[in-house]
Amino acid sequence: MDILNKNSTISEFILLGLSSSHEIQIFLFAIFFFLYAAVIVENLLIVLSVVFDHHLHSPMYFFLANLSFFDLCFSSSATPKLISDFLRKRKTISLWGCMVQMFFMHFFGGGEMSLLIAMAIDRYVAICKPLHYKTIMTHRMLTVFLLLSWAVGLIHTTSQMAFTVGLPFCGPNVVDSIFCDLPLVIKLACTDTYVLELLVIADSGLLSLVCFILLLISYTIMLVTLWHHSFSASSKALSTLTAHITVVTLFFGPAIFIYVFPFNSYSVDKFLSVFYTIITPFLNPIIYTLRNQEMKAAMKRLRSHQIGSWVAP
């Protein structure tokens, strides 16, 4: 905090948001409030189902529960502020609040990226080395993967924020976005940030692009492996893989376009920002449960148990 106050003469940033029209903002408030409420309910339902239903105590659902937790935390880093700003004429965020928001968004974003890679490894072992699955995907291995996800998220955000918090902000303080977007905030600094901008592109953009390509290659190998199996034996695995590939595309797609192939139009950047902060966490639980009979059955048992506990005297 002292570093920020010492090097900066501004105390807050102004966020332009999605629209300046009062009527449109009220409409957007209702839409985003519903979406965020759905994000909370959906992801918490998956986490609770996996925790309390012994039928889901397997590596795949362990990763799915943690993915839902990361989704919930990632969305909560920016969405509540976005929703409240729809009711405000002047959308501001303090300098320190902006830094905290960027820290947690990149922390949970980097962690989720690592977790998606761990989920791909889990499916690769299950499909390509099924006889060794239980000996490889042990409880210890799952713990290692989870700790690595948290560690990668911390390293990812610290490597960028360590240089950002010390930047001097003494001039323009208007951020044309729905939240504190790191590339846009860096450009407002009263110093040459060319090297730091390259670091952000390399850290966030190229890392996302490389991980996305590697994941697509691994899933392609798995699909080819399934192609040589009988339909009855591979239909369930194919359904799971389809869900994984869809979620990976939804997560990495917007991030890659924003950091690697930035648009000149801020409206496109805002749309992509909305997509990966609220739409993706909203869609992920639906994608994973839509064709997953075990998860749907577990959710029904959880709801029945909860309703029974309310009704019982």
Ranges 79-83, 96-100, 200-204, 230-234: which has the least confidence: 230-234
- Does residue 168 contact residue 7 with C-beta atoms inside 8 Å? yes
Q: For residue 282, which of 75, 63, 105 has the smallest C-alpha distance?
A: 75
Is 288 in contact with 247 (CB distance < 8 Å)? Answer: yes
Helix (H) or strand (E) holding 13: strand 12-15
pTM of the model: 0.87
Between residues 310 and 172, the one the model is more confident about: 172
Check whether 46 has a pLDDT greater than 60: yes
Q: Cβ distance 206 to 110 under 8 Å?
A: no
Packing angle, helices 231-259 and 266-274, rounded to 10: 140
Residue 156 confidence (pLDDT) above 70: yes
Contact residues for 162 (Cβ-Cβ < 8 A; gap 6+): none
- Please give the residue that has the higher pLDDT: either 203 or 267: 203
Angle at 119 between CA 118 and CA 124, to 5 degrees: 95
Average pLDDT across the chain, whole number: 85
| Confidence band of 267 (pLDDT split at 50, 70, 90) | low
For residue 15, what are the β-bridge partners? Answer: 175
Query: Is residue 263 scored above 80 in pLDDT?
Result: no
Beta strand pairing call for 92-94 and 174-175: unpaired
Q: Give the residue, 263 or 82, on which the prediction is more confident.
A: 82
Q: Determine the pLDDT at residue 108.
A: 95
Q: How far apart are CA 234 and CA 226, in angstroms?
A: 6
Position 1 scores a pLDDT of 46
pLDDT of 43 = 95
Closest CA to 212 of 177, 252, 265: 252
**H or E stretch including 258?**
helix 231-259
**Which tens digit of pLDDT belongs to each residue from 129-143?**
888 999 999 999 999
The residue assigned the tokens 């947690």 is 104
Q: Lowest mean pLDDT of 106-115, 116-125, 243-252, 294-303, name the range.
A: 294-303
Average pLDDT, integer, range 29-46 = 95
Q: Is the pLDDT of residue 102 over 80?
A: yes
Nearest to 86 by CA among 150, 38, 22: 22
In this structure, what token pair is assigned to residue 35?
A: 């979406």
Give the pLDDT confidence score for residue 293 in this predicted structure: 80
How confident is the model over 13-35, as pLDDT tens digits?
A: 999 888 888 889 999 999 999 99
Tell me the HSE value of 260 on the side-chain side, using a 13 A CA sphere: 16
Residues 223-248 have a mean pLDDT of: 75
Residue 143 CA to residue 63 CA, distance in Å, equals 10
Position 264 scores a pLDDT of 54
Instruction: Count other C-beta atoms under 10 Å from residue 134's C-beta.
Output: 12
As a whole number of angstroms, the distance between CA 308 and CA 313 comes to: 10
CB neighbour class for 32 (10 Å; exposed up to 12, middle 13-18, buried from 19): buried
What is d(CA 270, CA 262) in angstroms, rounded to the nearest whole number?
A: 11
Per-residue pLDDT, 100: 96
* pLDDT per position as a tens digit, 51-82: 988 888 999 999 999 999 999 999 999 999 99
